[in-house]
Amino acid sequence: MPLKDSIGGYRMLSSHNVEFGLSQAHEVNRSSLAELAALFPVLASLKNASEKRLQLVNHTIVEEVLQDLGELDFGKGVTAKSNAALWRQRGDHKPLVGEFAFECKFKRKSELHERAMEHCMKFFVSLQPIAVDWISLGTTKTGVVYRLRGNPPQSHE
């Protein structure tokens, strides 16, 4: 990701995600955290999980339109799939935010060659001055949804 306050740098974040359509949880009360904890046991560790209910953030359903762009080769066997994403509100299709992304996948840090990583970082930093008019520093797709009604997310990076 770009730096939060200036063009020409980067910061790296790591995340572990899982996605599934709530329609896949057929017999589960999809707003009950306790019932979803049966699918994702780690949720049970949250304080008062048995009493909590899930709600849409700002009553908004987000639709992501994703376009694969191609594969980037950073050398030493390190490649990255690139794509452009548009998040928009379902219903009126009001655009919320767009994103260009590329992802290098590897199982062990030893698989990531230092020279390839350097090429990857240089590529990312070199794109920023070219796209400066399109970059919203300090913004994330999720943050845009939280800010729809003036409620900024709490950053815990």
Residue ranges per structural domain of the chain: 1-55, 62-149
pLDDT band at 58 (very low <50, low <70, confident <90, very high): confident
Averaged pLDDT of the chain:
85
Does pTM surpass 0.75? no
User: Would the pLDDT of 157 be above 60?
Assistant: no
- Number of neighbours of residue 112 by Cβ within 10 angstroms: 15
CB 75 within 8 A of CB 36: no
In this structure, are residues 11 and 1 in contact, taking their beta carbons and an 8 Å threshold? yes
Alpha carbon distance 78, 126 (integer Å) = 19
Q: Is 40 exposed, middle or buried (0-12, 13-18, 19+ CB in 10 A)?
A: exposed
Residue 155 has a pLDDT of 65
Give the single-character DSSP code of 24.
G
**Tokens at residue 1, please?**
């990701």
Residues 123, 126, 129, CA angle at the centre, nearest 5°? 150
Spatial contact of 49 and 35, defined as CB atoms under 8 Å apart: no
Tens digit of pLDDT for each residue in 30-45?
688 888 887 788 888 8
Q: What is the pLDDT of residues 63-122, one digit of tens each?
A: 999 999 999 999 888 899 999 999 999 988 899 999 999 988 777 777 778 888 899 999
